[in-house]
């Protein structure tokens, strides 16, 4: 049954229209009913002009309210129900001439409403009011874009026959071995008491094992990939780092994919490049007004019609050295990442084939140079690293010798029965949004940011 | 840029085809390259027949392997790369006559592979091998359906102008006040030490407040709804209950939606009914083979063309009383839920207008009877309760008097500025899959189930 059948059903009981459709259809002369919030008021002698938003799009609908309707408690921020007729203003703008105005909920700014009309509040200020900030133009535009980006990502993967897997949040693995994880225990002491076992510490009795919040769904995806083929996940991921930078969160969304039968880094790179270009192009089509609201210059990123650059880790180091920036044993730092993007004229750049000791145990040893692994980082403007990926070690014995813990024997066993080569990557959704929307601080790319000392609501 | 542009790009570097497309396109005579796993082998004198699956669909592709190709290490469970020509068998079945067979990874069942060919292992047995069970017909079919159901849900909401909001997993609220929550603390003692504060308990220093895993995104959705209009979320949710029933998980996915400007329970009911029917019909179209694999009888649920039933809580109690089942003060138990569905001939039934003391503080008091709230439960076959929802209390003073904690003052404040009526519901994705796929145990509806004493991998 086609979806518009259902839309028709819905229209039978939802009498009002969302403003996005009213503006899109522009049915001049039609009796129209809308509900939303007052974003702006201009009071004249005979008439009041009100700009109304219902959150469905960046644009506001202008309402012409004749004085006799006496909408006295109509103030900035109040919610309204308006019935009227659509027309075009002398300047060609779509407007609704009200025949009935009903204030649903008043808004008295003096009672403590933190936002003011015709004021652009700085993001740090708005961030103090997480529960109200979806009412601001800036945050609502970012969240509509976040919705669209998520949808385009799912479309890209579904069209390429990838299966969406809900990898678990709770895990007994500590995949990266970094130690910066959150542990999870029941809050209720009675539950713990009822489940207590002699040989277990109280923290571990619920699951019978120490349990963490996931830092990556990759190992789980690899298990799924060996039965279902191409798979991906997009879900919450956690780091218990004490970092308050503009690029870090304690809870963030990560897109991870595992490419079945992929045994070459170039194929992985091509896939990542196609994905990013697809999402950028589709979002510029679907959310033009929102992107304009965030960035009036609305320049498409200059790399959209260029090929991404590829540099080996050694080449990247030499470039940095010539610029007087020496890399340490730990790899390439944020300043150096951004210098490399700059060196490539702002075009994203893959850094490939990394020293083994800088990367994770599961990465495939290079056939050409056994001090290197077949890994990549993708560096982008604004954020630096945005994607990390690799071919996975598919040699049972090599993997066994590098396995950090016996608890991962299940992961080793994936190589024992009907094994296949695979490659995969992880991409931070919030960093992608920073690049796409030109948002300096990652905390403004999601509805409820969590970072050290901040877990409001 | 249309998505097939990208598909064309991808086809340029991925030379092989997924079996779902090979079967769908059925290009007899075409040279075809596939990769997958051996699900079945029939060895004859001159020829070997192998059934290959790559996880992309329920159907297997039959391969005809002439003896001279000598694929000796081709065993059940091994992974293969096959090139050949498509043809139709005398009985009209699509098959691939192999010209080249390459075993990528062997599978020696005697080395400890837990599955055997032509054997239907019971779910409890398969569940012991979470890392390998995506290779079984049953679990791979359920996971393909889970992908499709998720997609259909997103399509339904997007088409109805609902915005997808990623509500947080980490929260300082304990929304339901039930106490059955997990608390979250950094695992690294050095991090805690570095952040230690005199007035805080060590468990709370990281976020500066006691932090839990979410039990519901509803309150967060309500905040978003008052700026963005219609919103929904679909994400992981947690309960630290000591329950090992076939209907409970410690981590599960919950679909929650908040309907802006909705002030009537009938509108909410209609929306839920339309959503469920849409998802069921679309999934029967998109995943016919998977559903057939799970349930050979493939009967559409008998309620798909019927209207859902509505009973008031008091009516439901009377029906149960007549059946000799007395309800307690706590409401309606699982046995009684299923008896009510049975009473309605297996058609899902809304139980509406519940006693205030059985339901949460945020539910709207009934205008007709102030001992009741405008709440609903939807009961379905197999699982009983599948949806819970309500109108939200939008009266500032009534809500204030019922607010369980000062920590929720932000929630109260939503009613102070430009308030609107809203209604919403929560639906357990895994229970929906149980009803849709006729899966008795909830642990078989998701890739990595977590329940007491079980958090493997």
Contact A104 B282 (CB under 8 A): no
Q: Are the beta carbons of A291 and A283 closer than 8 angstroms?
A: yes
Confidence of residue B9 (pLDDT cuts 50, 70, 90): very low
Contact B261 A166 (CB under 8 A): no
From A441-455, B184-198, B417-431, the region with the lowest mean pLDDT: B184-198
Give the pairing of strands A182-186 and B384-391. Answer: unpaired
Q: What is the DSSP letter of A331?
A: B
CA distance A342 to chain B (A): 28
Q: Name the residue of chain B whose CA is nearest to A55's CA.
A: B228
* pLDDT score of B264 more than 90: yes
CATH node for A3-117: 2.40.50.140
CA distance A242 to chain B (A): 7
**What is the layout of strands, in order, in the sheet containing A349-355?**
A163-164, A231-238, A251-260, A422-428, A384-391, A372-380, A349-355, A309-312
Distance between CA atoms of residues B434 and B247, nearest Å: 9
Q: Which of A381, A388, A384, A377 is nearest to A438 (CA)?
A: A381
B316 SS3 class: helix
**Chain B environment of A79 (Cβ under 8 Å):** 418-420
Task: Tell me the mean pLDDT in the region B425-448.
Answer: 96
- Interface probe with A: pick from B60, B229, B405, B442, most Cβ of A within 10 Å: B229
Contact A163 B179 (CB under 8 A): no
Task: Tell me the mean pLDDT in the region B171-179.
Answer: 71
Q: What is the pLDDT of residue B329?
A: 74
Q: What is the pLDDT of residue B1?
A: 39
CA distance B126 to chain A (A): 14
Please classify residue A77 by burial: count the beta carbons closer than 10 Å to its beta carbon, then call 0-12 exposed, 13-18 middle and 19+ buried. Answer: buried
Q: Which of A208, A217, A209 is nearest to A235 (CA)?
A: A217
Q: What is the pLDDT of residue B2?
A: 42
**Chain B environment of A230 (Cβ under 8 Å):** 18
Q: What is the pLDDT of residue B374?
A: 98
DSSP string, A109-138: GGGT----TT----HHHHGGGTTTGGGSHH
Token reading at A418: 């009907």
CA distance B359 to chain A (A): 21
Over residues B102-120, the pLDDT tens digits come to: 999 999 989 999 999 888 8
Q: Which of A358, A420, A373 is nearest to A222 (CA)?
A: A420
Q: What is the pLDDT of residue B118?
A: 82
Please classify residue A94 by burial: count the beta carbons closer than 10 Å to its beta carbon, then call 0-12 exposed, 13-18 middle and 19+ buried. Answer: middle
Q: Name the residue of chain A whose CA is nearest to B410's CA.
A: A131
CA distance A143 to chain B (A): 8
Q: What is the DSSP letter of A87?
A: E
Distance between CA atoms of residues B432 and A88, nearest Å: 47
Distance between CA atoms of residues A173 and A219, nearest Å: 9
Distance between CA atoms of residues B68 and A195, nearest Å: 61
Q: Are the beta carbons of B218 and B256 closer than 8 angstroms?
A: yes
Contact B35 A3 (CB under 8 A): no
Q: Which of B94, B93, B76, B72 is nearest to B85 (CA)?
A: B94
Which residue of A182, A418, A455 is in closest CB contact with B107? A418
Q: Which residue has the tokens 């909705």?
A: B262
DSSP string, A157-217: HHHTTPEE----SEES--TT--S--EEEEES-HHHHHHH--TTS-GGGTTTTS--EE-S-S
Q: What is the DSSP letter of A420?
A: -
| Stretch (H or E) spanning A1 | none
Token reading at A399: 């993997």
Task: Tell me the mean pLDDT in the region B427-432.
Answer: 98
Give the pairing of strands B31-43 and B47-53. Answer: antiparallel
CA distance B340 to chain A (A): 28
Which CATH architecture does the domain made up of A137-180+215-444 adopt? 2-Layer Sandwich (3.30)
- How far CA B425 is from CA of A309, A413, B221, B229, B234, in Å, comes to 48, 42, 11, 15, 12
Over residues B304-347, the pLDDT tens digits come to: 889 999 999 999 999 999 999 887 777 899 999 999 999 999 99
CA distance A338 to chain B (A): 28
Task: Considering only CA atoms, give the Rg of chain B.
Answer: 26
* Close Cβ partners of A448 (under 8 Å, ≥ 6 residues apart): A130, A456, A457, B167, B168, B220
Contact B135 A6 (CB under 8 A): no
- Interface probe with A: pick from B165, B283, B417, most Cβ of A within 10 Å: B417
Q: What is the pLDDT of residue B176?
A: 55
Q: Name the residue of chain B whose CA is nearest to A9's CA.
A: B274
Contact B144 A166 (CB under 8 A): no
**Chain A environment of B159 (Cβ under 8 Å):** 3-4, 6-7
Q: What is the pLDDT of residue A13?
A: 54
Q: Name the residue of chain A whose CA is nearest to B107's CA.
A: A417
Q: What is the pLDDT of residue B87?
A: 96
Domain ranges of chain A: 3-117, 137-180+215-444
**Chain B environment of A146 (Cβ under 8 Å):** 166
Over residues B136-167, the pLDDT tens digits come to: 999 999 999 999 999 999 999 999 999 999 99
- Mean pLDDT over the full length of chain B: 92
Beta strand ranges found along B278-368 (DSSP E): 309-312, 349-355
CA distance A335 to chain B (A): 25
Distance between CA atoms of residues B364 and B441, nearest Å: 34
B41 SS3 class: strand
CA distance A371 to chain B (A): 26
- Interface probe with A: pick from B115, B251, B418, most Cβ of A within 10 Å: B418
Beta strand ranges found along A326-371 (DSSP E): 349-355
Q: Which of B405, B383, B404, B402 is nearest to B394 (CA)?
A: B402
Q: Which of A436, A446, A144 is nearest to A295 (CA)?
A: A436
A344 SS3 class: coil
Contact A179 B187 (CB under 8 A): yes
Contact A105 B420 (CB under 8 A): yes
Which residue of B79, B105, B457 is in closest CB contact with A220? B457
Q: What is the pLDDT of residue A301?
A: 79
Q: Are the beta carbons of A386 and A393 closer than 8 angstroms?
A: no
Distance between CA atoms of residues B141 and B169, nearest Å: 28
Q: What is the pLDDT of residue A6?
A: 44
Task: Tell me the mean pLDDT in the region B423-439.
Answer: 96
Q: Name the residue of chain B whose CA is nearest to A18's CA.
A: B161
Q: Name the residue of chain A whose CA is nearest to B453's CA.
A: A207
Q: Name the residue of chain A whose CA is nearest to B285's CA.
A: A1
Which residue of A108, A158, A450 is in closest CB contact with B151? A158
**Chain B environment of A180 (Cβ under 8 Å):** 186, 188, 191
**Chain B environment of A241 (Cβ under 8 Å):** 191
**Chain A environment of B36 (Cβ under 8 Å):** 229
Distance between CA atoms of residues B257 and B166, nearest Å: 12
Q: What is the pLDDT of residue B7?
A: 42
Strand partners, B426: B256, B388
Confidence of residue B11 (pLDDT cuts 50, 70, 90): very low
* Close Cβ partners of A120 (under 8 Å, ≥ 6 residues apart): none
**Chain B environment of A238 (Cβ under 8 Å):** 169-170
Q: What is the pLDDT of residue B333?
A: 93
Q: Name the residue of chain B whose CA is nearest to A405's CA.
A: B457
A/B interface, count of CB pairs below 8 Å: 391
* pLDDT score of B200 more than 50: yes
- How far CA B115 is from CA of A8, A187, A369, B118, in Å, comes to 49, 39, 39, 9
Contact B186 A182 (CB under 8 A): yes
Give pLDDT tens digits along chain A (457 positions). Answer: 344 444 444 444 567 999 999 999 999 999 999 999 999 999 999 999 999 999 999 999 999 999 999 778 899 999 999 999 999 998 999 999 999 999 999 999 899 999 998 888 999 999 999 999 999 999 999 999 999 999 999 999 999 999 999 999 999 986 555 679 999 999 998 899 999 887 778 889 999 999 999 999 999 999 999 999 999 999 999 999 998 899 999 999 999 999 999 999 999 999 999 999 999 999 999 999 999 999 877 677 778 889 999 999 999 999 999 999 887 777 899 999 999 999 999 999 999 999 999 999 999 999 999 999 999 999 999 999 999 999 999 999 999 999 998 899 999 999 999 999 999 999 999 999 999 999 999 999 999 999 999 999 9
Contact A261 B35 (CB under 8 A): yes
B3-119 adopts what CATH topology?
OB fold (Dihydrolipoamide Acetyltransferase, E2P) (2.40.50)
Share of chain B above pLDDT 90, in %: 83
CA distance A186 to chain B (A): 4
Which residue of B135, B161, B171 is in closest CB contact with A226? B135
* Close Cβ partners of B273 (under 8 Å, ≥ 6 residues apart): B307, B308, B348
Q: What is the pLDDT of residue B177?
A: 56
Q: Name the residue of chain A whose CA is nearest to B264's CA.
A: A13
Q: What sign for the dihedral angle of Cα B412, B415, B421, B427?
A: negative
Which residue of A147, A169, A229 is in closest CB contact with B18? A229
- Interface probe with B: pick from A187, A191, A239, most Cβ of B within 10 Å: A187
Task: Tell me the mean pLDDT in the region B282-299.
Answer: 89
- Interface probe with B: pick from A117, A158, A175, A227, most Cβ of B within 10 Å: A227
CA distance B281 to chain A (A): 7
Distance between CA atoms of residues B36 and B38, nearest Å: 7
Task: Tell me the mean pLDDT in the region B213-227.
Answer: 97
ipTM for this prediction: 0.95
Q: What is the pLDDT of residue B363?
A: 97
Strand partners, B88: B94
**Chain A environment of B35 (Cβ under 8 Å):** 260-261, 420
Contact A135 B227 (CB under 8 A): yes
Token reading at A145: 């874009």
């Amino acid at each position: 049954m086609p979806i518009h059948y259902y839309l028709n059903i819905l229209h039978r009981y939802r009498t009002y229209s969302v403003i996005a459709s009213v503006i899109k259809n522009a049915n001049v002369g039609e009796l129209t009913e809308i509900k939303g919030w007052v974003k702006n008021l201009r009071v004249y002698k005979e008439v009041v002009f009100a700009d109304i938003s219902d959150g469905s799009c960046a644009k506001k609908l202008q309402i012409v309210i004749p004085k006799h309707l006496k909408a006295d408690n109509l103030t900035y921020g109040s919610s309204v129900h308006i019935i009227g007729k659509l027309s075009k203003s002398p300047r060609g703008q779509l407007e609704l001439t009200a025949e009935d105005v009903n204030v649903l909920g008043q808004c008295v700014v003096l009672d403590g409403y933190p936002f003011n009309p015709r004021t652009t509040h700085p993001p740090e200020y708005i961030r103090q009011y997480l529960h109200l900030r979806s009412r601001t133009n800036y945050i609502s535009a970012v969240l509509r874009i976040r919705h669209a980006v998520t949808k385009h990502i799912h479309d890209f993967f579904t069209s390429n026959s990838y299966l969406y897997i809900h990898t678990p949040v709770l895990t007994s693995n500590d995949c990266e071995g970094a130690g910066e994880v959150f542990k999870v225990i029941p809050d209720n002491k009675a539950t713990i008491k009822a489940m207590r076992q002699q040989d277990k510490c109280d923290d571990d009795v619920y699951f019978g094992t120490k349990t963490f919040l996931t830092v990556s769904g990759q190992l789980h995806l690899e298990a799924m990939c060996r039965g279902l083929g191409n798979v991906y996940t997009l879900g919450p991921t956690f780091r218990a780092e004490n970092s308050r930078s503009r690029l870090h969160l304690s809870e963030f969304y990560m897109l991870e994919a595992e490419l079945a039968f992929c045994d070459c880094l170039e194929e992985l790179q091509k896939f990542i490049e196609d994905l990013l270009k697809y999402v950028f192009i589709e979002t510029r089509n679907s959310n033009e007004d929102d992107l304009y609201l965030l960035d009036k210059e609305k320049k498409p990123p200059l790399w959209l019609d260029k090929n991404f650059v590829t540099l080996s880790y050694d080449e990247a180091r030499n470039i940095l050295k010539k610029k007087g920036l020496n890399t340490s044993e730990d790899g390439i730092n944020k300043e150096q990442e951004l210098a490399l993007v700059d060196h490539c004229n702002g075009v994203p750049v893959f850094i490939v084939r990394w020293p083994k000791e800088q990367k994770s145990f599961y990465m495939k040893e290079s056939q050409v140079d056994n001090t290197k692994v077949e890994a990549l980082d993708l560096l982008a403007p604004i954020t630096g690293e945005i994607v990390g990926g690799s071919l996975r070690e598919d040699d049972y014995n090599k993997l066994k010798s590098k396995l950090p813990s016996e608890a991962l024997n299940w992961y080793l066993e994936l190589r024992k029965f009907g094994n296949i080569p695979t490659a995969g990557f992880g991409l931070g959704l919030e960093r992608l949004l920073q690049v796409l929307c030109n948002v300096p601080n990652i905390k403004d790319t999601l509805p409820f940011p969590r970072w050290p000392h901040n877990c409001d609501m």
